[in-house]
C-alpha cells in the first residue's frame, strides 16, 4: 500500500503486528515537534499461534481468523489515507513449518506482505517504541515484551544526542500462549502445574538476564497484553483506558497477588474479573507466570508499564525512512 501526499497533508502510516495471540493495528503520523501521533489503535485476539507449540503448524482456522482481521484493518487504513504500511509476523509464524499458508492469504487480505521478523529485530523495534516518550538521560532500560509465543528482553540506553542505542537483545520461546499450552492443562491449573511452570520460567529468565550485559540494574519496562492486563486488574478497570495504564507502576507485590488471584479461578470466572478481556482469560495465567518470573529473576521492586511497543517502533521506522527507525533527521 503506497502513495503520495501533498506537502500540506500529514503523512499517515500504518503498522500491523500479527502476534501469536493478537493482531494489532496502529495508524499514526508525525506531529509538528517530531513525536508520533496516534490516529487509531485496534486489537483483536485471533490466536494465530493456536497449537503451534505442539504441532509446529498454523491451524487453518487460526489463519482464517487472522486474515479476516487483516481485511478489516485494510479498510481502516484506507479510510485514514495511510500511504505506507509495515506489517510483521512474529513467534507463531517463525515456528510454523507451513508459514507460507499464512503469508499468501495475509498479503491478499491486507494489501501488504507481512515480514517474518526475527526475535532480535522484534526486540529492537519494541525498544524503539517503548522508550520513545521516556527521558533519554534516565540511564539504561530493560524492555521486556511478553508476547504469546515469545518474550523479548532488550537492554539499551540513549546516545548524548538522544538516539536509541540497543546494547543487547535476547528472545526466549516463552509467552502466555506457549506456557499455557505447554504447562497448564487443568482449569484452573493445579499447584503442580503452576510450580513446574514457575521453576522452568525462573531458570530460563534468570539465565537470559545473566547473559545480557547491563540487564541487572537497568530500569524495567513491561510491554504487551499480559502486562497491560495486570495493570488493568490492579486498577479495577472495567474498560480499557490507555492513559491510566501507560506508564503506570506495577509493584512486584501486586504482580504476585494478581497472579495468585487469577490462577485460582477457572477461565469463566477469570473472564469476569475487571481488566481481563474475555478473549485473554484462557492464557492470562501463563502470561502472569512469565511476568512474575521476570520480576523475581530481575530482583526489582516494580516495573513501569508501557503501552507503546513494537507497533510504535514499526510506525517510527516508516516515518524515519529506515528499517529500524534509527535514521532520518529526527532519529
Q: What is the pLDDT along the chain (331 residues), one digit of tens a residue?
A: 544 444 557 789 999 999 888 899 999 998 887 789 999 999 999 989 888 888 889 999 999 999 999 999 999 999 999 999 999 998 788 888 999 999 999 999 999 999 998 878 888 888 888 888 888 777 899 999 998 888 999 999 888 878 888 889 998 999 999 999 999 999 999 999 999 999 999 999 999 999 999 898 899 999 988 999 999 999 999 888 989 999 999 999 999 999 999 999 999 999 999 999 888 999 999 999 999 999 999 999 999 999 988 899 999 989 886 555 443 322 2
CA 249 to chain centre: 18
Q: Distance (Å, rounded) from C-alpha 82 to C-alpha 61?
A: 29
CATH architecture of the domain with residue range 134-306: 2-Layer Sandwich (3.30)
DSSP string for 148-207:
SS-EEEEEEEE-TTS-EEEEEEEEES--HHHHHHHH--SSSPPHHHHHHHHHHHHHHHHH
Residue with cell 506457549: 178
* Confidence (pLDDT) at 4: 47
Same fold, 12-117 and 134-306: yes
* Confidence (pLDDT) at 221: 95
* Confidence (pLDDT) at 122: 84
126 HSE (CA, 13 A, CB side): 32
Domain ranges of the chain: 12-117, 134-306
Burial of 176 (0-12, 13-18, 19+ CB in 10 A): buried
Closest alpha carbon to 318 in 69, 102, 77, 90: 77
Q: What Å distances lie between residue 40 and 16, 29, 36, 82, CA to CA?
A: 12, 10, 12, 11
Q: Distance (Å, rounded) from C-alpha 237 to C-alpha 234?
A: 8
Closest alpha carbon to 292 in 249, 248, 258: 258
Contact 41, 14 (CB under 8 A): no
Q: Quick one: 12-117 is in which CATH superfamily?
A: ATPase, nucleotide binding domain (3.30.420.40)
- Cβ atoms < 10 Å from Cβ of 330: 14
H/E element holding 311?
helix 310-320
H/E element holding 89?
strand 84-89
pTM for the full model?
0.83
Amino acid at each position: 500500500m503506497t502513495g503520495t501526499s501533498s506537502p500540506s497533508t500529514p503523512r499517515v502510516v500504518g503498522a500491523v503486528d500479527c502476534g501469536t495471540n493478537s493482531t494489532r493495528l496502529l495508524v499514526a503520523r508525525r506531529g509538528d515537534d517530531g513525536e508520533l501521533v496516534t490516529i487509531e489503535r485496534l486489537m483483536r485476539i485471533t490466536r494465530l499461534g493456536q497449537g503451534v507449540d505442539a504441532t509446529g503448524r498454523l491451524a487453518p482456522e487460526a489463519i482464517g481468523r487472522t486474515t479476516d482481521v487483516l481485511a478489516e484493518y485494510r479498510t481502516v487504513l484506507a479510510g485514514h489515507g495511510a500511504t505506507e504500511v509495515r506489517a510483521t509476523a512474529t513467534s507463531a509464524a517463525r515456528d510454523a513449518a507451513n508459514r507460507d499458508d499464512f503469508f499468501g492469504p495475509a498479503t491478499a487480505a491486507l494489501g501488504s506482505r507481512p515480514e517474518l521478523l526475527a526475535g532480535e529485530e522484534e526486540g529492537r523495534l519494541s525498544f524503539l517504541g517503548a522508550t520513545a516518550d521516556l527521558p533519554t538521560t534516565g540511564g539504561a532500560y530493560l524492555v521486556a515484551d511478553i508476547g504469546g509465543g515469545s518474550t523479548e528482553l532488550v537492554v539499551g540506553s540513549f546516545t548524548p544526542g538522544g538516539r536509541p542505542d540497543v546494547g543487547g537483545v535476547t528472545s526466549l520461546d516463552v509467552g502466555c500462549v506457549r506456557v499455557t499450552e505447554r504447562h497448564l492443562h487443568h482449569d484452573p491449573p493445579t499447584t503442580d502445574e503452576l510450580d513446574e511452570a514457575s521453576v522452568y520460567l525462573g531458570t530460563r529468565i534468570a539465565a537470559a538476564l545473566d547473559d545480557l550485559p547491563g540487564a541487572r540494574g537497568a530500569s524495567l519496562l513491561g510491554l504487551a497484553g499480559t502486562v497491560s492486563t495486570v495493570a488493568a486488574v490492579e486498577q479495577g478497570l472495567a474498560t480499557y483506558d490507555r492513559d491510566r495504564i501507560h506508564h503506570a507502576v506495577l509493584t512486584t507485590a501486586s504482580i504476585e497477588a494478581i497472579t495468585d488471584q487469577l490462577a485460582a479461578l477457572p477461565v469463566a470466572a477469570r473472564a469476569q474479573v475487571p481488566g481481563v478481556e474475555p478473549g485473554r482469560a484462557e492464557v492470562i495465567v501463563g502470561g502472569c507466570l512469565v511476568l512474575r518470573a521476570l520480576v523475581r529473576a530481575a530482583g526489582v521492586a516494580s516495573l513501569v508499564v508501557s503501552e507503546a511497543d513494537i507497533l510504535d517502533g514499526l510506525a517510527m521506522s516508516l516515518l524515519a525512512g529506515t528499517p529500524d527507525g534509527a535514521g532520518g533527521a529526527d532519529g
